[in-house]
A and B are shown apart, each in its own frame.
Chain A
Amino acid sequence: MKLKSFWVALLLGLVLVLSACSGGDSDDESAESNGEKITIFQTKVEISEQMEELAEIYEEETGVEVEVWGTTGDDYFQQLQTRLNSNQGPSILSLQDYKKAENIKSYLHDLSGEEFIDNIAPNMAVEIDGEVVGIPYGVEGFGLVYNKDLVSEEDIQDYDSFVNTLERLSNEGVDPLTLSSEAYFLIGHMSNYPFSLQEDHFEYIDQLSEGEVTMTETPEFQEFGKFLEAIREYSPNPMDYTYDEQMGDFATGKTAMVHQGNWAMGMLADYDYDFEVGMMPFPLAGNDKLAVGVGANWAVNGTKDEAEIEAAVDFLEWLHTSETGQRFVVEEFGFVPAMTNIEANDLDVLSDIVLEYSNSGETIPWAQNYYPASVVTNDFMPAAQDFFLDENISGEDFIQLFDEAWQNAVK
Chain B
Amino acid sequence: MSRLHNRLWYLVFTVPLIMIFTIVVLIPFLIGIFYSFFEWDGIAANPMIYVGFDHYIELLSDGRFLNSAWLTVKFTFFSVILVNILGLGFALLVTTALKSSNFARTMFFMPNLIGGLILGYIWQFIFSDVLKMLGEATGYDQIFFNWLLDKDFAMYALVIVFAWQMAGYMMIIYIAGIQSIPNDVIEAAKIDGASYWQRLKNIMFPLLMPSFTISMFLTLSFGFKIYDTNLSLTNGGPVNQTELFAMHIYNEIFGYGNYGYGQAKAIIFFIVVAAITLTQVYLTKKREVEM
Contacts and interface: CB of A to CB of B under 8 A. Distances in A.
Interface of A: 2-3, 6, 9-10, 13, 17, 75, 77-78, 81, 84-85, 100, 103-104, 106-107, 237, 239-240, 373-374, 377-378, 381-383, 385-386, 389, 408-409
A6 B12 contact: yes
Interface string B5-29: 1001100100110010000000000
Nearest to B259: A81
B255 A377 contact: yes
Nearest to A99: B257
A95 to B, nearest CB: 13
B32 interface: no
Interface of B: 5, 8-9, 12, 15-16, 19, 41-46, 64, 128, 146, 149-151, 237-240, 251, 254-257
Contacts of A409: 256
A3 B5 contact: yes
A84 B44 contact: yes
Contacts, number: 70
Most buried by A among B15, B42, B238: B238
B128 A386 contact: no
B38 to A, nearest CB: 15
Given A10-B12, A389-B151, A373 B255 contact: yes
Contacts of A389: 149-151, 238-239
Contacts of A75: 254
Contact of A106 (B45, B150, B239): B45
B251 A378 contact: yes
Contact of A239 (B5, B12, B149): B149
A75 B16 CA distance: 32
Contacts of B151: 389
Nearest to A104: B43
B237 A381 contact: yes
A17 B43 contact: no
A77 B238 CA distance: 25
24 contacts: A2-B5, A3-B5, A13-B12, A13-B15, A13-B16, A17-B19, A77-B254, A84-B43, A84-B45, A103-B43, A103-B257, A106-B46, A239-B149, A240-B149, A373-B256, A374-B255, A378-B256, A382-B238, A385-B238, A385-B239, A386-B238, A389-B150, A389-B238, A409-B256
A348 to B, nearest CB: 30
Contacts of A378: 251, 255-256
Most buried by B among A2, A3, A385: A385
A104 B45 contact: yes
Contacts of B64: 408
Contact of B237 (A85, A107, A385, A408): A385
Nearest to B148: A239
Contact of A9 (B12, B46, B239, B240): B12
A342 B175 CA distance: 69
A356 B254 CA distance: 37
B244 to A, nearest CB: 15
Nearest to A14: B16
